Each structure stands twice: as structure tokens, then as C-alpha cells.
């Protein structure tokens, strides 16, 4: 028996799912779940003798978006850091640092978003560039991909980088350039206190909700952020459904206290761990079978051995822990597939990115879950130069993966890309053709339509998080509703990017901020 005191009735144009497309004119929710989706006549019958709360949908209602791969802490830090995404030169970066040098996070000046391919100088920033502006405080400037950064001399001295990583190829001591594991080490050394973490996470979740995203996968979560997340959850201050994948170095927490995937409540669940097999194409650390077209002596970076990976996957399988494998290059994907096959751990493994997938790898991906980031197509406008024309057709595949019935979901890897789902959807549909992105010439057959894109950002992405009750508004689903200003199925492609979220209801409660 439904307790009608807790019933909400939503009236308007409502999409409950996208594959197949289903619209209704009435939605009834109780205790945060959908109990009916259909006609207003039935809704009126159910509520005729009760005081149901009626909510008129001013706009179009969709299931809340699900982004299965973001970095919530980095996104929050990014909102408080110096935004370097639009910088067109190193001189412009220096000016931004000088203007915003008062934005200090735990004693550090942090900036993110620069891309040397956009600079007129066509080179990476160096510590000497930063020293010319800031000498007294440590500075970290992250490339947009998050796999490469530059620190100033003060930071190098503070962390004793040249002593600790004397022969590490991931440190260029002369220029202050750091990559991969060393960059992660620096992040761990930036000691963020509990109050700062709370501000950072609160900023992040507000920004996420404002874009209609109601569920996320929080990947590479640091261990010291867990107490803040738990306290926010207990205080009912965590509004988005957060699925945690800890950094792999903290896997012992699962061992020591016996955590299994899915442990937690509706707003905070422990799922597993995240493992990096390689780096990024932008930093030329993604692991390739053949060398980089624009750096012929470089094959990328292998961050974990096949044997070690197999051991972790076996442990995860035995302990019911989900493992998210970061594999951008095709060689990294080979390592992932080999390890998964040899441990029979399909049900406990998902792959992040799969940015380069050769034809001979497609069938091996069947049965796996893959999180892809279509907006990389627009951001990585230089990618054909990176991998060459011959390999271009293997880059950022979507349609080929769908055609093989691979479980696929869309994400942004925020703050690498903007959390805004409509930009990702636009990129998946157009492949950069209207922006003159060279990759479009070689991969336009990988384009999909808006219905498929919406499905992959809702129900498709929910499968990445092993959920059946999010990303949908059918009976039994959680009542997470994204109300937007226009119907995405009735718009010109160019208008998709400008769709705005008007309101968000999570468990039927208005949480739009």
C-alpha cells in the first residue's frame, strides 16, 4: 500500500527513457521512486481522494543524466583554481597567474586547463615561465588532460622532487615538468583540510546538479576525502548519487574492512578501485602499439605490468570489487584485454576511455563496460597529427562499439571536459564536422543520433555503475528528474549545446540551486 502523504504528481511532457523513446504526460512518485508513468486520467484517479502534491513541468522532463567517470575533487578544486582553458599563449598564462595569484588552495596556487597545442609558442610551459611571476608560493599548473603538469622552483624545493625522483623519466627537473605517477605524488602532498574539502565538494556538486547530472562515478577518489563525503552524506548534504572508485594505492581499505562493491546508501556507494594502465594522448603518455606520428621515438608510458594487473583483477574477482581500468592507447587496451581474459573477470571490470580501438580488438570488448568521452573529439583537435592518418579511423569510436552490443556509457572525465552533457551529446552526433576538426573526415561513420546519445548518457551510463534504477523514469526507477527548457528531439543540432536545465528533482525533491 502506497502512503499517499508522500506522493508527488508531475504533469507535463516527460521522457521516461530513450531506447525505445517513451513519453508520458504524468509521473507519480512516492518515497523517491516512480510508481506510475502514463496518462493524466490515471493520475487523477489515483489522487482523486487524496492531497497529492502536484508539480507542473515547465519545460521538458528527462531522466537525470548519469556521468560514470568524473573526478569530483579535481572538479571542485578547478572551480576555485585559475582557469587556463582559453589561454592562447604562455604570456597569457603568466598574466592569468599574476591576476589570480590570490586564489590559494592549501598554500598552493593551482591552475588547470592549458594545452600547448593552442599556444602560439607551440611548447609546454616551464618552471622558468612560472618563476617569472611567482617565486614565494608553490605553483602547480595542470595540462587539460590532468596527466602532465608544471611546477615552479618553490614547489620543487618544497617537495624535494629532484632528490626523491632523481632518475624518474616522469620528471624533467630542468623545466619543472612532471607526469603521471609523480604528478599523483604531488597531489597527495597538497594537504587539503576537511573544511576546504567540504567547500570543494559542495562547489562541485552544485555545478554538477546545475547541468542536470544526478548520478556520478567519482574515480580516483583520494582516501583523505572519504570522511568528508561520509559526513556530508550523514548530514543529508550530499545531493548527487556518488559511486566511489578509490585510487588503486588505497585498495587495502577494501581488504582491511571487507568492503564489497555497492556498499553504502543511495547517495554514497563504495564500488571499487581505479587503475591506470597508461596516460593521455595530449601528454604523449598513452601507450601505443606503434610510435607517435609526431614523436617517432615515443610509444607512451606503461604504468602497470600485465602480471601485477592480473593479480589485482584476481583479487577483485575474489572479493567482489569493481575495477575501472584506464586504457587510452591501443597497446594499453591490449594489456587490459589480456589480463581480463586470463582472470575471467569480465563482471568485475570496466574500461575507461578506450580512445584508440583497432578493428581486431572490437570483438574482444564484448561483455565489458566502457566509459567513453565524445567531447575529446572537439578538445583533441590535434589528434590526427598525434597518431597519423592511418590510425585516425580507430580514434574515439562510438558506433562500432554500439554495433557489437558492448555496454557503453557517456562521461566527461570532468574537469578534463566540461560536465555539461549537451556539449558531449553534440560532439557524439557531429564528430567535429562543423568545427572543421580533421578527425571528422576519417571517423564520421562513428557518429550517432540524438536518441542514441541520450540513451547512452542515461540508461547506458547507469550500467557502467551497475545500476538499473537510475537514468530512467519508469516505475521502480529513482525519481531523479532533469527539467530542461527545450525538447532535444525537436531541435537543430546546433541548438543542442544551448539547452539549459531549469530544475532538478532528486527523489522527487527540488534541489536545483
**Could you tell me the residue ranges of all domains in the chain?**
4-64+475-510, 69-189
Regarding pTM above 0.85, the answer is yes
At the top level of CATH, which class does the domain 4-64+475-510 belong to?
Answer: mainly beta
Question: In whole angstroms, what is the distance from residue 320 CA to residue 275 CA?
Answer: 16
Q: Contact 310/343 with Cβ under 8 angstroms?
A: yes
Mean pLDDT, all residues of the chain: 93
Give 246's strand partners.
Answer: 221, 273
| 480/63 Cα distance (integer angstroms) | 6
In angstroms and rounded to an integer, the radius of gyration of the C-alpha atoms of the chain is 23
Q: pLDDT-derived band of residue 136, with 50, 70 and 90 as boundaries?
A: very high
pLDDT tens per residue, range 385-432: 999 999 999 999 999 999 998 999 999 999 999 999 999 999 999 999
* Range name among 39-53, 290-304, 497-511 with the lowest pLDDT average: 39-53
- Residue with the three cell numbers 562510438: 398
Task: Looking at the structure, give the CATH architecture of the domain made up of residues 69-189.
Answer: Roll (3.10)
Average pLDDT over residues 190-211: 92
Residue whose grid cell is 578527425: 439
Q: What is the pLDDT of residue 2?
A: 40
Which of 314, 170, 182 lies closest to 251, judged by CA? 314
Residue 289 phi, psi (nearest 5):
-70, -40
- Look at residue 512 and tell me whether its pLDDT is greater than 70: no
Residue the block writes with cell 601485477 = 308
The pairing of strands 53-63 and 7-18 is parallel
Residues 123 and 148 sit within 8 Å (Cβ to Cβ): no
Amino acid at each position: 500500500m502506497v502512503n499517499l502523504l508522500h506522493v508527488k504528481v508531475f504533469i507535463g511532457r516527460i521522457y521516461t527513457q530513450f531506447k525505445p523513446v517513451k513519453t508520458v504526460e504524468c509521473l507519480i512518485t512516492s518515497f523517491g521512486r516512480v510508481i506510475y508513468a502514463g496518462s493524466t486520467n490515471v493520475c487523477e484517479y489515483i489522487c482523486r481522494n487524496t492531497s497529492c502534491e502536484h508539480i507542473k513541468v515547465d519545460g521538458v522532463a528527462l531522466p537525470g543524466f548519469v556521468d560514470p567517470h568524473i573526478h569530483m575533487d579535481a572538479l571542485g578544486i578547478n572551480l576555485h583554481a585559475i582557469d587556463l582553458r582559453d589561454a592562447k599563449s604562455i604570456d597569457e598564462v603568466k598574466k592569468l597567474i599574476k591576476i589570480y595569484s590570490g586564489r590559494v588552495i592549501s598554500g598552493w596556487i593551482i591552475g588547470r586547463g592549458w594545452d600547448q597545442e593552442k599556444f602560439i609558442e607551440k611548447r609546454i610551459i616551464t618552471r622558468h615561465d612560472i618563476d617569472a611571476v611567482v617565486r614565494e608560493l608553490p605553483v602547480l599548473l595542470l595540462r587539460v588532460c590532468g596527466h602532465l603538469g608544471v611546477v615552479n622552483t618553490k614547489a620543487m624545493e618544497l617537495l624535494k622532487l629532484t632528490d626523491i625522483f632523481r632518475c624518474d623519466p616522469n620528471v624533467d627537473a630542468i623545466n619543472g615538468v612532471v607526469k603521471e605517477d609523480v604528478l599523483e605524488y604531488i597531489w597527495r602532498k597538497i594537504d587539503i583540510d576537511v573544511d576546504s574539502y567540504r567547500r570543494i565538494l559542495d562547489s562541485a556538486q552544485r555545478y554538477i546538479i546545475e547541468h542536470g547530472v544526478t548520478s556520478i562515478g567519482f574515480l580516483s577518489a583520494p582516501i583523505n576525502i572519504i570522511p568528508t563525503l561520509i559526513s556530508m552524506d550523514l548530514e543529508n548534504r550530499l545531493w548527487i548519487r556518488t559511486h566511489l572508485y578509490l585510487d588503486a594505492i588505497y585498495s587495502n581499505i577494501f581488504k582491511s574492512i571487507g568492503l564489497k562493491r555497492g556498499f553504502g546508501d543511495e547517495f554514497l556507494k563504495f564500488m571499487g578501485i581505479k587503475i591506470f594502465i597508461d596516460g593521455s594522448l595530449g601528454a604523449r603518455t598513452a601507450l601505443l602499439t606503434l610510435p607517435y606520428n609526431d614523436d617517432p621515438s615515443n610509444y607512451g608510458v606503461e604504468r602497470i605490468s600485465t602480471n601485477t594487473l592480473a593479480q589485482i583483477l584476481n583479487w577483485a574477482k575474489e572479493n567482489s570489487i569493481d575495477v575501472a581500468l584506464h586504457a587510452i592507447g591501443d597497446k594499453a587496451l591490449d594489456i587490459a584485454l589480456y589480463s581480463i581474459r586470463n582472470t575471467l573477470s569480465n563482471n568485475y571490470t570496466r574500461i575507461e576511455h578506450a580512445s584508440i580501438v583497432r578493428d581486431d580488438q572490437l570483438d574482444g570488448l564484448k561483455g565489458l563496460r566502457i566509459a567513453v568521452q565524445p567531447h575529446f573529439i572537439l578538445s583533441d583537435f590535434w589528434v590526427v597529427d598525434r597518431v597519423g592518418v592511418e590510425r585516425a579511423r580507430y580514434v574515439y569510436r562510438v558506433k562500432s562499439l554500439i554495433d557489437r552490443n558492448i555496454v557503453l556509457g557517456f562521461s566527461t572525465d570532468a574537469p578534463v571536459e566540461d560536465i555539461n552533457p549537451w556539449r558531449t551529446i553534440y560532439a557524439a552526433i557531429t564528430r567535429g564536422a562543423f568545427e572543421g576538426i580533421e578527425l571528422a573526415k576519417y571517423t564520421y561513420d562513428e557518429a550517432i543520433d540524438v536518441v542514441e546519445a541520450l540513451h547512452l548518457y542515461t540508461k547506458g551510463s547507469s550500467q557502467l555503475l551497475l545500476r538499473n534504477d537510475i537514468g530512467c523514469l519508469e516505475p521502480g526507477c529513482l525519481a531523479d528528474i532533469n527539467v530542461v527548457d527545450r525538447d532535444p528531439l525537436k531541435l537543430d543540432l546546433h541548438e543542442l549545446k544551448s539547452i539549459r536545465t531549469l530544475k532538478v528533482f532528486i527523489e522527487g525533491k527540488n534541489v536545483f540551486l
